[in-house]
Amino acid sequence: MAALATEGDIRRHAETLFAAAAGASPRLFDRKWWTGRLLEWTIRDEAFKVQLFRFIDVLPTLKTPTQIQRLVEEYFGQETAPRLPMGGRSLMRWGMRALSASGFGAGVTAETVYTQALQMANQFIVGAGIKEALPVLAGLWKRGLAHSVDLLGEATVSEREADAYAARYQEALTALADAAGDWRASPVLEADHLGPLPRAQISVKLSALYSQFDPIDPEGCYTAVAARLRPIVRAAMRLPVAVTFDMEQYAWKDLTLEIVRRLLTEEEFRAFPHAGIALQAYLRDTDRDVRETIKWATTRGCPFGIRLIKGAYWDYETIVHRQRGWPVPVFRRKTETDACYERLTPLLLEHADVIRAAFGTHNLRHVALALAEAERRGLPKKAVEIQMLHGMAEPLQAAVTGAGYRLRVYAPVGELLPGMAYLVRRLLENTANESILRQQYLGGQSLDDLLRPPTATDVAAGLIPAHLQREGVNPSPTAAAVAGEGSLQREFEFTNEPHTDFARPAARQQMRAALGVMRGRLGRRIEPAFPASPGVKHSVLTSRNPARPVEIVGVVTAAAPGDVDAAVARAQASGQAWAALPSTDRQAVLSAAAAVLRRRRFDLAALEVFEVGKVWREADADVAEAIDFLEYYARQAQKVAEPIRLGREPGELNHLLYRPRGVAAVLPPWNFPLAIPTGMVAAALVTGNAVVFKPSERAPVTGYALVEAFREAGLPEGVLQFVPGEPEVGRRLVAHPEVPVIAFTGSQAVGLQIIEEAARVRPGQREVKKVIAEMGGKNAIIVDDTADLDEAVAGVTASFLGYQGQKCSACSRVIVLDSLHDLFVERLVDAVRSVRLGFPEEPGTGLGPLIDARAVQKVLEYLAIGQAEGTPVLLPDLDHRPGPNFVGPAIFTGIRPEHRLAREEIFGPVLAVLRARDFDEALALANDSEYALTGGVYSRSPRNIARAREGFHVGNLYINRGITGALVGRQPFGGDRLSGMGAKAGGPDYLLQFVTGVVVSEQTLRRGFSPDLE
Ligand SMILES: Cc1cc2nc3c(=O)[nH]c(=O)nc-3n(C[C@H](O)[C@H](O)[C@H](O)COP(=O)(O)OP(=O)(O)OC[C@H]3O[C@@H](n4cnc5c(N)ncnc54)[C@H](O)[C@@H]3O)c2cc1C
């Protein structure tokens, strides 16, 4: 191995570049330009920065000058300020001043705002289309700059869009190669140490080539992506044009690497020497990925490019991984990223015989490092390529070309709409505290500062954005936030059980193995031990796989209505000792049950796949939620365990105590066959009640798994009675005089019946029954004219299709503002059509079967109703379905509020689209329902978001996200109106429904003396 470059070498190169670049300022930071002035304001005020970048993001969707003016006012005007939690005042002060100082703001026409934003975007984007870009690229070439064209686009949410993207790449390849043929020869740009280089290069994002790009299904993704990629690479080889594969989010990293390596190993592409990939030094994995890629390239025996960059999604990765409770894959400190970059630079150059190394950076030290390392190895100048983004660090770009090195700029081509997302990323990057450009051009850092090696320890906490600062690599956010807050601590220690990350091969492997094991257990016989009830005949419940109804998942001996009395009596008898235990003992049983579920996690998810037809992620999420309920209620129970002292007056001692109610009946549905019963059973048990649990007759095997888990966790015999059975068993339970509390989740019809039945006081009954009823929903999502369409389409698709629409939280109405109705519907229909219908055990399946033939029948009836009431824009293909219970999705437009499709809960993949003139009407339509469970809004208008917060009447309102998947402790769940009664599940009030409050007031004054007089 050659000696590494010394600090002296780096400094020598850096000084030359620095001197050459001296005096010039990149246009972005140039105060003569309004972008420079604006950026200066953003750096001074974080709140203003957030508003400005959000405004820029929404700007291209605004159609009229009035709309633009309205949004300027909403983002920067007086009205906004008081609503902002932080920085509101300063925002108002800075905001309007900054805007007027830079040309935006009060009195400025919408046209000016638009033009100026366009100008700002154009600084980074080389053209709206490839034709417009060609002259700019020719100009760059003339100035000695090569390019890599990136085709900006909206997220690919449908297969049609993936085809269109692939066609755009093809078009760009041909146009580029054609045009480049006329450019004058440039020895520096046209050859490196391994041979000639094509004049043109494109950067390709694999996620653009397949709408269902998802690491859960690498094989399916390979097939789909490779089908679109092969013609592109074929054309690139023929023309030739070099191709570099961009690296996107971490979740897609391994899949991207795998697809690229696998495709380029195919015989046809093995000898293509102008392909490469971008690898991100901010990832902990990258060290290993670089080494593996070098090894792979060596075996392949053909030059391969590695573009070493640091990565563009640091905030995103940090936030998303923390939200999900997954290890954060990026380094926490900028210096660690820098150190990784510095480790990998020599490594790449060391393998210059097979690796075409490119260094994508605007960091003076890292450019100098690459040059110095190449020099140390005796490599010619042409063996090192520096890359920068178009529109950034122009003085450094000029210095690098001036020094005789090849410089390539990343040249985005695209319309304003996708361009703005790119622009916001660049602005964020340039204004980040850690940005080297900001430090150099706005921070006025000296050369010494700029060249300080990353091992220095002085770059710590202060440079990490405040909102991301708290934790280390694998944080548990709430725990750290409140550590040390005394008695509340235990409650807050709760963190959600992370969902399985199916991007990990080990997780996929475990799930496959569990599915195999479960398949082997199909048909198993379950005989719960019923108390011997003389003369009672027991039938069976046969649980079938909804995807293949001939397959029997389990046969469960059913309780008969006549067993109910005995079950209640047993529960009552065993319940007394249970109620007398210290609360902490009961809490411990819940935690132990959580541990059992954790251990059986994949088995249980696999069982759900077979018993209720959930796809992998849905099944996994249900098990995680069950664990959450156990852990959360175990902690919450402490709040009702100890007497609460009320009042402080001397001479009296007032205590509020909570006592269990007795026997709780738990009647859950089949659609969350583990989580919902676990929540209800756990809440009842931990507060000291005994439980009679009747699982849904459509999911008795999963229900039994819960009973087994509690048994294994040490729950005393008899406290949890399992009575699988037909609805009559449930009715007997509800009517039983010794059952004072009923926890039900299910349809509105049954829920209302239960409430009515429970209200009747029967002979021998001593308590008014308490009913907790979670019922249905007719949930709406509003998409307004400022919505991010990519997100709205993806969010509505997921909320509508998740578990085939069989969630009470599912989206079944979407209310779209006139101005974007048609475009939205077109993209939505394509997106929904692109989701794969199939068997849930296949990882690539997005849409599985309905639960049974009855559900299918109901959906078919609504398809007929929908066709009579509205216009079908998507109908299922009933002639081609994998099995009798499969019904593909349907979407109807032209639905009006009085239509049945707009009012009735269907519980299947049928979506009603309603049109609204404006946000007021949209909100009125959304609220025009007897249900009020979940609701959502996609909007980037601060005013509309505020109005939805105040006036959208639902139990759970979601803004700019999907409306399903509520998390225990973070989004306690439950509806209003006829959607339900009772406190929210997974929230702080839930347990109170299973206890009765008792106040004990003792007069402590005796003979004129009381112990508490201070
Ligand atoms: C030609 C080219 C192609 C590109 N292609 C891609 C691509 O495919 N995928 C992609 O993601 N990006 C890509 N980028 C963008 C690139 O990642 C950024 O431009 C780059 O991160 C800026 O780095 P720098 O060396 O110029 O700046 P510097 O200011 O030296 O470094 C900024 C980097 O440090 C990271 N950082 C900031 N704070 C921290 C912290 N606290 N802890 C750890 N790290 C931190 C930032 O995330 C960023 O990556 C490309 C850039 C170029 C020039």
- Establish how many alpha carbons lie within 13 A of residue 195's alpha carbon, considering only the half-sphere containing its beta carbon: 11
Place of tokens 């209620």: 633
How far apart, in whole angstroms, are the C-alpha atoms of residue 170 and residue 184? Answer: 24
Backbone angles phi, psi at 536, to 5 degrees: -90, 125
Mutate to test the pocket of ligand 1, among 434, 440, 457 (most ligand atoms within 8 A of CB): 434
Which protein residue's CA is at the shortest distance from atom 47 of ligand 1?
314
The tokens of 295 are what?
A: 């090894």
Residue 26 CB–ligand 1 contact under 6 Å: no
Q: In ligand 1, which atom is closest to the CA atom of 315?
A: 47
Which of these, 902, 835, 49, 777, lies nearest to 430 by C-alpha position?
49
- pLDDT for 471: 37
- How many secondary structure helices (H) and strands (E) does the chain include? 36, 31
Q: In ligand 1, which atom is closest to the CA atom of 332?
A: 42
Q: In ligand 1, which atom is closest to the CA atom of 247?
A: 8
- pLDDT for 966: 97
The tokens of 167 are what?
A: 């066609």
Query: How long is the chain?
Result: 1014
Q: In ligand 1, which atom is closest to the CA atom of 331?
A: 43
- pLDDT for 102: 54
Residues paired with 144 in a beta bridge: none
Residue 311 CB–ligand 1 contact under 6 Å: yes
Check if the beta carbon of residue 404 is closer than 8 Å to that of residue 384.
no
How far apart, in whole angstroms, are the C-alpha atoms of residue 49 and residue 54? Answer: 8
Mutate to test the pocket of ligand 1, among 429, 440, 457, 463 (most ligand atoms within 8 A of CB): 429
* Distance between Cα 428 and ligand 1 center (Å): 11
Q: What is the 3-state secondary structure (H, E, C) of 733-800?
A: HHHCCCCCEEEEECCHHHHHHHHHHHHCCCCCCCCCCEEEEECCCCEEEEECCCCCHHHHHHHHHHHH
The tokens of 10 are what?
A: 């780096």
Q: Which residues fall within 8 angstroms of residue 685, CB to CB, at 6 or more apart?
A: 578, 586, 589, 590, 691, 710, 715, 719, 720
Task: List C-alpha distances in Å: 534 to 556, 602, 841.
Answer: 20, 40, 43
Active site residue 336: no
How far apart, in whole angstroms, are the C-alpha atoms of residue 989 and residue 15? Answer: 65
Check if the beta carbon of residue 141 is closer than 8 Å to that of residue 186.
yes
Check if the beta carbon of residue 832 is closer than 8 Å to that of residue 804.
no
Residue 436 CB–ligand 1 contact under 6 Å: yes
Backbone angles phi, psi at 897, to 5 degrees: -60, -25
Residue 56 CB–ligand 1 contact under 6 Å: no
State which amino acid sits at residue 960.
N
* Distance between Cα 360 and ligand 1 center (Å): 8
Residue 548 CB–ligand 1 contact under 6 Å: no
Q: For residue 920, what is the enclosing H or E element?
A: helix 919-927
Active site residue 826: no
Check if the beta carbon of residue 837 is closer than 8 Å to that of residue 881.
yes
- Prediction pTM value: 0.93
The tokens of 141 are what?
A: 């070439």
Helices (H), 522-563: none
The tokens of 18 are what?
A: 């620095």
Q: What is the 3-state secondary structure (H, E, C) of 508-560?
A: HHHHHHHHHHHHHHCCEEECCCCCCCCCCCCCEEEEEECCEEEEEEEEEECCC
Which protein residue's CA is at the shortest distance from atom 36 of ligand 1?
334
Given 248, 317, 497, 774, which residue is catalytic? 774
How far apart, in whole angstroms, are the C-alpha atoms of residue 852 and residue 391? Answer: 58
By DSSP bridging, strand 779-783 and strand 980-981 are unpaired
pLDDT along the chain (1014 residues), means of 10: 85 95 79 71 81 88 87 77 44 53 57 78 91 97 97 95 98 98 97 98 98 98 98 98 98 98 98 98 98 98 98 96 97 96 97 98 96 97 97 93 97 88 84 79 82 64 39 34 40 86 98 98 90 77 98 96 94 98 98 98 98 98 98 96 94 96 98 98 98 98 98 98 96 97 96 96 94 96 97 98 98 97 98 97 97 98 98 96 97 98 97 98 98 98 97 98 98 95 96 97 89 73
Q: In ligand 1, which atom is closest to the CA atom of 387?
A: 1
Q: Which residues fall within 8 angstroms of residue 900, CB to CB, at 6 or more apart?
A: 862, 865, 869
* Distance between Cα 312 and ligand 1 center (Å): 5
Given 221, 808, 842, 869, which residue is catalytic? 808
How far apart, in whole angstroms, are the C-alpha atoms of residue 805 and residue 351? Answer: 53
Residue 337 CB–ligand 1 contact under 6 Å: yes
Which of these, 992, 960, 987, lies nearest to 975 by C-alpha position?
987
Which of these, 948, 955, 951, lies nearest to 981 by C-alpha position?
955
- pLDDT for 101: 56
Residue 276 CB–ligand 1 contact under 6 Å: no
- pLDDT for 429: 84
